[in-house]
Chain A
Amino acid sequence: MIAAQYHRSLTRRLSEQYLLYGLSGLFLFTVTAIYFSIQGTLLNSLAITAGIPLGLLLFGSFALRRTSRWHENIERQLTRFANGTNHSVAELRPLPTTDPLAAGWNQLLTRVQEHSAWNGVDRRLSEAIHTQQAKRWELVFQNLTEGIAVCDSEGRIIQLNRAFATLLNRADSKTLVGLDIVELLCEQADESSLIRIHELTNNHVSQVVEIHRSSDLAQGDLAQGDHAQGDHAQGDHAQGDHAQGVHRLNRIVLSGESVNPAESIWTLRDITQQKLAEKAREQFVFTATHELRTPLANIRAYSETLASAGDIPVEQQQSFYNIINNEATRLARFVDELLNISQMEAGAITIDKHEVQLERMLDELLDSQRPSANEKKQTFDIAIAPKLPKLMADKDKLIAALTNLVSNAIKYTPEGGKIAVRVDSDATRLLFMIEDSGIGISPEDMSKLGSKFFRSSDQRVQSVVGTGLGLALSQEVARLHGGHLSIRSQLNQGSCFTLELPLR
């Protein structure tokens, strides 16, 4: 641009100079002609009149040629520069003369070349930065956990990242370029999702839908599914069971100057875990409601019965009152457990460690549990090592954790069974072992043990009142003390729960 302007102005200057030489020649010719016509001799006058200006013209044109050579050179260079690219700067040559114009040109050239040298550095730098940025963006694009694909107006994939391919179960993302995205998505989706994918394509606005992977593809995808019982009566309204392989698909229609119309970005995200978490939360609410409703139902039924019927024998009345009392206690315990669990969830459960009088604590604990064991005619063996080390612990939480373990042992051991509580220590840890000859735990249940609200579907477990929260709490208490809870069990043989606390 600048070069072209310079070129134009220089050309103008050169033509002005030619005009100047021409005009001076004409002026001299005219002056000489007038002079000799006044003097007389026509022939002489003609010869001189023609000769002098001719000589002048010859000299002038020689001088002009000498000057204009550089002009032409400059002009040629400038034309090439004006029509060329950036690289033409390198092709500009200085002129080997001291002519003021050439000197000016050379000076200009030095400036331009200096400038262009910086420009070059600049350009190379900006190119490097640009390449670096592009590489970084490519890296970001490829490493996003969200699958992204860019499609043309026909819905064919132009570009996609690894996550997109992985989410579609394809190992190599390159092989997917050029394929129809809707077809690709539909291959993987279950029937109910197909219509949603098509809806997405037909709309010209950005939209989000959930798609479910067809179940044969989702097999084995999840470590823990739901424990839905597979009987036909329940199958019909198990709408919540669809958490396996759920993807969130988002289509964003691009608009802007730099893109073709109807180009679109498709994003795909695996929301299976999120769905499972939602389901767990839902399950939590259902179980909590159920656990609240059950004792409430009993309380209501018994109190109503007592209130409405005046002719109930006193003994029976008494037993009804006891039931109401028991149910209220159960309700209160559940609320306590719920509170503990919610504190635990929020990370708000804190451990307030003090020195614990172990013997006294154990006496209290076992005394409170002994009646239940006696009621079931269970033998209740206690073996506490004679010299226990000093323990720093949160007494209340520890009692809660151990009470859960002991009362579980009693609950899940049939009448006449055996419960053994042993407390021992070595140099680094204190061990509370609660062993029973109870119903035991199946290997399948073992893996789910300790997850909140989990209760075995075993008839013998179901017949006992429980919330499925106790063990989770015991585990948490052990963890907060820097220890842990380990479980050994054999179905129908018995279980042994060991709560291990470090001595520090």
Chain B
Amino acid sequence: MHNLVVKKMSEAHKILIAEDNVVLGDVIRFNLERSGYAVTLARSGIEALRQVASQSFDILVTDYEMPGVNGEELCYQVRNVLKLHDIKLVMCSAKGLEIDHETLKAKYAISAIVSKPFSIRDLLALLGKLEVKSSSSKPLLAVSN
């Protein structure tokens, strides 16, 4: 039992979702929470930026197109301004050919870019495969214990 909890807790990676589409944000949170992640949902890029600056996350799942601070700007801030190098970045995009996925991935060390409409199952599988350095989930484990 203890093992299970520890396992569960150690898996409880902290995920920040930046998604301005309210209904999509809700369903992503719903599914991620059911899969055992600790989810924070930011409804805009600027809110996500505030969150990521004030607490540590393992994974940031961000939409590309958001008014104000968009996904790319958010990644830029995370990597180049806040200098957070351990956080895994996943980007969702409703854009097609107008963004060059490979360049973008290389530029901000983005783990994956998924195109909308994406499958929730695929997203979960992708997040499961990310090798997260669990330093940031330790406080969560301590609190849970």
Contacts and interface: CB of A to CB of B under 8 A. Distances in A.
Interface in A281-330: 282, 286, 289-290, 293-294, 296-302, 304-305, 308-309, 320, 323, 327
Interface in B20-72: 20-21, 23-24, 27-28, 30-31, 34, 44, 65, 67-68, 70, 72
B67 A457 contact: yes
A12 interface: no
Nearest to A311: B34
A15 interface: no
A297 B24 contact: yes
Contacts of B95: 286, 289-290
Contact of A304 (B73, B107, B121): B121
Interface string B98-131: 1110010001000000011111110000000000
B70 to A, nearest CB: 8
B99 to A, nearest CB: 7
B94 interface: yes
A233 B72 contact: yes
Contact of A231 (B73, B99, B116, B120): B73
Contacts of A462: 20, 67
B118 A297 contact: yes
B116 to A, nearest CB: 4
Contact of A233 (B73, B94, B96, B118): B73
Interface in A22-42: none
Q: Which of A296, A304, A308 has the most CB of B within 10 A?
A: A304
A298 B98 contact: no
Interface string B132-145: 00000000000000
Interface residues of B, number: 34
B20 A294 contact: no
Contacts of B30: 305
Contact of A293 (B70, B73, B94): B94
B67 A233 contact: no
Contacts, number: 83
A428 interface: no
Interface string A138-158: 000000000000000000000
Given A233-B72, A296-B117, A286 B98 contact: yes
Contacts of B92: 297
B29 to A, nearest CB: 11
A234 interface: yes
A69 interface: no
Contact of B27 (A231, A302, A457): A302
A299 B23 CA distance: 10
B67 A298 contact: no
Contacts of B98: 240, 282, 286
Interface of A: 231-234, 236-237, 240, 282, 286, 289-290, 293-294, 296-302, 304-305, 308-309, 320, 323, 327, 457, 459, 462-463
21 contacts: A233-B70, A233-B75, A234-B72, A286-B95, A286-B98, A290-B65, A293-B94, A293-B117, A297-B92, A297-B117, A297-B118, A298-B21, A298-B117, A301-B24, A301-B31, A301-B118, A301-B120, A308-B121, A320-B27, A323-B23, A459-B67
Interface of B: 20-21, 23-24, 27-28, 30-31, 34, 44, 65, 67-68, 70, 72-73, 75-76, 92, 94-96, 98-100, 103, 107, 115-121
